[in-house]
Chain A
Amino acid sequence: ETGVTQSPTHLIKTRGQQVTLRCSSQSGHNTVSWYQQALGQGPQFIFQYYREEENGRGNFPPRFSGLQFPNYSSELNVNALELDDSALYLCASSLVQGRKDGYTFGSGTRLTVV
């Protein structure tokens, strides 16, 4: 059974650029959630995808968008990057929106915006 994998592991972008982060869910999981973790804080919910549709969104602007593909992998896209977008981005997968056995996290993508 493969776990949750994220790519890339580290990324440096310039303010105003766009970035795409990728996540492969754990085998058998149909739900993917994305979280942003600023330094020294707990992760904050960005949005969740269930069966290829957005199923809940946190307090993040529209320039944060996502996709889920038929194989349940997912992308997080951030447009017009700002310095405050520098953070660890975590992807979590689960079966049936976490209602069975909870969520499993990947190792994260550390994004630095300069």
Chain B
Amino acid sequence: GIQVEQSPPDLILQEGANSTLRCNFSDSVNNLQWFHQNPWGQLINLFYIPSGTKQNGRLSATTVATERYSLLYISSSQTTDSGVYFCAPVFSGGYNKLIFGAGTRLAVHP
């Protein structure tokens, strides 16, 4: 069946450190989004990235659709980066629905 696997499941960083979050998916995708869920539960859209590389400030993302993975890079992490990061692809051939991974829980300490 369709699967979305995120790694690592948990990550603890000191402020200022860099990190890479990975998302593997089991089938071809039409698009893919990365979200940050804040402590109040809101999902903040970070990137809409079906393929290629995008950057937004300290964050960047790369999706290699042919190899079925996406990466989220966080540089110079800040305490406000804490929360849960979700990868959510839309798989080809199904409804245009996001399929979420289990997320990476990030804690950034001062």
Interface residues of A (CB under 8 A from B): 31, 33, 35, 37, 41-45, 48, 55-58, 88, 90, 92, 97-99, 101-108, 110
Contact between A103 and B41, CB atoms less than 8 A apart: no
B contact face: mostly helix, strand, loop, or mixed: loop
A contact face: mostly helix, strand, loop, or mixed: strand
Residues of A contacting B88 with CB < 8 Å?
Answer: 42
A-B Cβ contacts below 8 A, count? 67
A48-B102 contact, Cβ under 8 Å, with A103-B33, A105-B42, A108-B42: no
Residues of B contacting A99 with CB < 8 Å?
Answer: 30-31, 96
A57–B101 CA distance with the chains assembled, in angstroms: 18
Contact between B96 and A107, CB atoms less than 8 A apart: no
Please give the distance in Å from B54's CB to the nearest CB on chain A.
12
Flag whether B35 is at the interface (Cβ < 8 A). Answer: yes
Contact between A55 and B45, CB atoms less than 8 A apart: no
Interface residues of B (CB under 8 A from A): 30-31, 33, 35, 40-45, 48, 86, 88, 90, 94-103
Residues of A contacting B35 with CB < 8 Å?
Answer: 105
Contact between B103 and A104, CB atoms less than 8 A apart: no
Of all chain B residues, which has the CB nearest A102? B48
A105-B43 contact, Cβ under 8 Å, with A42-B101, A98-B31, A99-B31: yes
Please give the distance in Å from B99's CB to the nearest CB on chain A.
7
Please give the distance in Å from B88's CB to the nearest CB on chain A.
8
| Residue among A44, A102, A105 with most chain B CB within 10 A | A102
